[in-house]
Structure 1
Amino acid sequence: MRRTKDEANETIRKLIDVARRHFADHGYEKAGLEQIAIDADVTRGALYHHFRNKKNLFHAVLAAVQQEVGERVEEEASRRDDLMEQLLQGSRAFLLAAVEPKNKRILLVEGPAVLGWDVWRELDEQNSLRHLKEQLQIMKEQGVLGDVSVDSLAHFVSGALNESALWMAQLEDTSKAMEETMSMLTLLLERAR
């Protein structure tokens, strides 16, 4: 029984990895389940056993991307001791991850378009916004932030970062846009102290 469960988990992981490449390279509409199954070295029956349809598979891919981005943000933030630096470096990590070719189409364009904003926001809440709220709450409790609404500030910062990621994703060279965005975020957070 354990071996069968491990094999099923390995099949799911392979399908998500292969589908992620297909969705990133070709987009949702042009990615074909038949080719995904072939490239993952599984049968179409196995693909449909684990994922009812292409939309269900795409949801799993987007969830994996969101989770990976959230983990990268948390990892980068944890390298700093200063609470403000944690927030700033975590925000930078989010922007860098969001505009990577393997992520940007899935995360920024097709995720909301294919699954809708409600589903996209739910995944964002689980993987990014939740951590942002926690960080801001800690900062408020430790006196780094003034008397601000953590919920309001979290949504404001999250929206600004998402919009900045959309802007940066269209640019060939993101370095100047990254520095401008981080300057604006720093300015905003300094005002919230």
Structure 2
Amino acid sequence: MPRVTEDHLAARRRQILDGARRCFAEYGYEKATVRRLEHTIGMSRGAIFHHFKDKNTLFFELAHEDDERMAEVASREGLIQVMRDLLAAPDQFDWLATRLEISRKLRNDPAFHRGWSERSAVLSAATAERLRQQKEAGRLRDDVPGGVLQTYLDLVLDGLVARLAAGDDPENLSAVLDLVEASVRQQG
């Protein structure tokens, strides 16, 4: 039997992830059934779950990829730039609309909550570090603790994702981000 190369395995994982992203974007988390995942990805459940333990693991891997990509931007340019990138290319993040239904699972499913928290820690850490640096540089308001600023920006991100999913006008949302950015800057 021929040996499967690492490149082949990596390509299969990528194919699974790309198909799963499309499936979650089209159907949402709950309705992205295993049958729909098989159809969208073009592989059997055995092939899919050979690479990923279950649907949660597959979803978490997508969330982790996005969080890492967003964390790179957040550490260089801040979380507001991450949101501007979402507005500039919403099709690259369209599956994130599933975060709306994820919030229910986060409240009611402790195992799902743990998995989500572990995988979204990268973006939180990058945001916290960027806020710390900006505060030390005197660019952020000093009358609000960093943790409060981070929660505020996280709420704005969640709201932005919800509004994009609802089809809001990106120009209006961009103006809102201008307002948010002005609200966290040091006045002077």
- Whether the TM-score (by the shorter chain) exceeds 0.5 is yes
Alignment-derived partner of residue 179 in structure 2: 184
| More contact order relative to length (CA 8 Å, sep ≥ 6) | 2
- Aligned-CA RMSD value: 3.3
Q: Does 2:50 align with 1:49? A: yes
Partners of 2:86 and 2:187 in 1: CA distance: 21
Secondary structure of the residue aligned to 1:145 is: coil
CA distance in structure 2 between the partners assigned to 1:89 and 1:42 by the alignment: 36
Structure 1: gaps (5+ residues)? 78-85
Instruction: Work out whether 1:138 is the aligned partner of 2:133.
Output: yes
Q: Do the aligned partners of 2:71 and 2:127 also contact (CA within 8 Å) in 1?
A: no
Which residue number in structure 2 is paired with residue 89 of structure 1? 81
Q: Which residue number corresponds to residue 83 of structure 1?
A: none
Conserved? CA contact 2:72–2:126, under 8 Å:
no
Distance 1:138 1:54 in 2: 37
* Number of the residue aligned with 1:62: 63
Aligned to 2:103: 112
Asked if structure 1 preserves the Cα contact closer than 8 Å seen for 2:16 and 2:48, the reply is yes
The question of 1:163 aligning with 2:159 is answered yes
Which one is further off, 145-154 or 46-55? 145-154
The answer (yes or no) to whether the contact 2:73–2:79 under 8 Å persists in 1 is no
Give the structure 2 partner of residue 153 of structure 1: 149
TM-score (normalised: structure 1): 0.71
Q: Which runs of 5+ in 2 are unaligned?
A: 107-111
Q: Relative to 1, partners in 2 of residues 1:89 and 1:59: Cα closer, same or farther, differing over 3 Å?
A: closer
Question: Is the partner of 2:5 in helix, strand or coil?
Answer: helix
Taking every aligned residue pair, what percent have the same amino acid on both sides? 25
Distance 1:27 1:192, change over 3 A: same
Number of residue pairs aligned between Structure 1 and Structure 2: 181
Distance 1:57 1:121 in 2: 15
Q: Distance in 1 between matches of 2:157 and 2:36?
A: 35
Shift of 1:99: 7.7
Give the structure-2-normalised TM-score.
Answer: 0.73
